[in-house]
Amino acid sequence: MRSHSSGVLVLEIGLLPLTPITGAEVEGVDLATDLSPSVVARLREALLRHKVLVFRNQPMNDAQQVALTNAFGGATAAHPIVNGLREDPAVLRTALSEERRALVEAEAGLSHPLKGSTPRRLRTEWHVDSTFVVNPNAITILRGIEIPPAGGDTLFANLEALYEGLSPSLRGFLDTLQAIHSRHAPSAAPRFDGKSAGPFAAVHPLVRVHPETGTRSLLVSAVFMQAIRGLNPRESTALLDFLLDELAGRDEIHARVRWERDTLVMWDNRAVAHAGPVDGLMFQEERIVHRTTVVGDLPCGPDGFVSRALMGGRFEALA
């Protein structure tokens, strides 16, 4: 939507909040063609405020998605461990059919009675992307390529509200802590760019100060976070369990995004965690999404602690 005012072209971007504190649908932008500095600045401002931006009806190709990613700070390789597309190494293609097949193969190797007690899980765990590297990506961009008529939604949780909801006493304690995040994929294929596919491990502040807004949030993940430094194992497990219960259980900090083909979702990976698809075994159809990520800096805690790599290199922008 555009209007002329005193001869100046003014872009009218509409924001429809998904919830009072998390997420907004954005109207009036064509991301494939209009990445002028003023548009990008408006969208960045909206992203910092709402943390998750949902754009509907955004047909584009992979090169255009990479251009969008570069406009927000520089596209990384597709993933620290998993190769992207051969023709476009910044783009990670995720197909639900392949994940289902891998799950079936994994379960086929289990014999009764263990098989019957194995929880069938399909990437539903709450996490922040790539926290096993020392500089997790700042922003994640996901585009719907093939989407089922129902199912495959993604959940988001506002990590600033999660932090704010805790008592001042507990926040003060958490402000002083760091956690170890790691991921090891021994069967990972060699990376196209020759870089190591891991193992990766990093120590991050448990509370992160946002580099652009200065707001504190809890940097927690049910997938990659292993332990809290300086606590004994029972203390670490109990505290992590509590924080992850808060993350998953506080509905008022969640937003749920329903996908369509050509829906593009951009989230601030420094301020939200996400989970999904939440119901990948409840429907039969294919679900394909293409992901790109904006390079991130080193997380910093309220006490000045800066993240350190324990194993593996940085998640750098592509040259």
- DSSP for 140-190? EEEEEEE--SS---EEEEEHHHHHHTS-HHHHHHHTT-EEEEEE--TTPPP
Considering the complex, state which of residue 140 and residue 236 has its C-beta at the smaller distance from Fe ion.
140
Strand extents, DSSP E, 229-314: 254-257, 264-268, 272-275, 288-294, 308-311
Segment near Fe ion (CB under 5 A); pick from 107-115, 123-131, 240-248, 281-289: 123-131
Segment near Fe ion (CB under 5 A); pick from 121-129, 192-200, 216-224, 306-314: 121-129
Element (H, E) at 101: helix 96-108
Residue with smallest beta-carbon separation from Fe ion:
129
129 binds Fe ion per the rule CB under 5 A: yes
The answer to whether 84 and 92 have CB atoms below 8 angstroms apart is yes
Q: What are phi and psi of 180, to 5 degrees?
A: -100, 130
Per-residue binding letters, 228-267, with Fe ion (x by CB under 5 A): ----------------------------------------
Considering the complex, state which of residue 96 and residue 239 has its C-beta at the smaller distance from Fe ion.
96
Q: What is the side-by-side strand order in the sheet with 14-17?
A: 14-17, 24-27, 52-55, 264-268, 139-146, 288-294, 92-95
Q: What's the closest the beta carbon of residue 101 comes to Fe ion, in angstroms?
A: 20
Per-residue binding letters, 75-114, with Fe ion (x by CB under 5 A): ----------------------------------------
Q: What's the closest the beta carbon of residue 29 comes to Fe ion, in angstroms?
A: 24
Q: Which of 201, 179, 180, 172 is nearest to 302 (CA)?
A: 172
Segment near Fe ion (CB under 5 A); pick from 99-107, 128-136, 172-180, 298-306: 128-136
Considering the complex, state which of residue 197 and residue 265 has its C-beta at the smaller distance from Fe ion.
265
Report the interface residues with Fe ion, using CB under 5 A: 129
